[in-house]
Amino acid sequence: MIVNHKLLKREILHRGVVFDLIVDYIEYPSGNGSVREVAKHPGGAVVVPVFDNGEVLMIKQFRYPIEKIIYELPAGKLDPGEDPERCARRELEEETGYKAETYKKLTAFYTTPGFCTEKLHIYLATGLHELKTGQQLEEGEESIKIEKIFLRKALDMVATEEIVDGKTIVGLFLADMKLR
């Protein structure tokens, strides 16, 4: 790893439920100082659940920071030490009430490496069947609705900005490439 700075001081401003806020004071080899603000996040898993007929099982939910209801793929935060595929399985079942027979990892990526450590693992899930228990939503997720959308239509919805969530866009395009 190439390090182009020296850490002078670290302050943890906030320990949160979803992420911690850190401020690092650094010095470059030139002697100039700088400040780096970091959202430390445990990462998560994203599922692209695709039915045999080509429909994708998506969710619509209200997102507080942007105050909008948006289309997304099922996803969630990793618990400490949790395997990403296990997280993907859990989130699919909780958020949609469906289970998949097969999971294939498509990729992992950093969402916003300029200030955040969040790394998301994306899985293609096939062989879907509905669980008798239905959705198992957590408090605050009561607004989640599920919707089946053909993959081709979902990709068109990205182009028209009806789907604007980054992890969803990445997942849809990778699933389309994998399934062709």
Residue 4: pLDDT above 90? no
The whole-number pLDDT of residue 1 equals 61
Same domain, yes or no: 22 and 55? no
Same domain, yes or no: 21 and 35? yes
Same domain, yes or no: 64 and 95? yes
Is the pTM here over 0.85, yes or no?
Answer: yes
End-to-end, the C-alpha distance of the chain in Å comes to 37
Q: Please check whether residue 1 lies inside any domain of the structure.
A: no
- Over the stretch 96-128, which tens digit does the pLDDT of each residue have? 999 999 999 999 999 999 999 999 999 999 999
Same domain, yes or no: 54 and 98? yes
Same domain, yes or no: 69 and 143? yes
In this prediction, residue 141 has a pLDDT band, given cuts at 50, 70 and 90, of: confident
Same domain, yes or no: 79 and 35? no
In this prediction, residue 31 has a pLDDT band, given cuts at 50, 70 and 90, of: very high
Domain count for the chain: 2
**142 belongs to the catalytic site:** no
Burial of 41 (C-beta count, 10 Å sphere; 0-12/13-18/19+): buried
Q: Please check whether residue 161 lies inside any domain of the structure.
A: yes
Burial of 152 (C-beta count, 10 Å sphere; 0-12/13-18/19+): exposed
What CATH number does the domain containing 79 carry? Answer: 3.90.79.10
Residue 144: pLDDT above 80? yes
Quick one: average pLDDT of 40-69? 96
Same domain, yes or no: 100 and 150? yes
Catalytic residue among 139, 141, 142, 147: 139
Percent over 90 (pLDDT), the chain: 86
Quick one: average pLDDT of 154-179? 98
Candidates 138, 152, 147; CA nearest to 73 is 147
Quick one: average pLDDT of 70-96? 96
Same domain, yes or no: 16 and 81? no
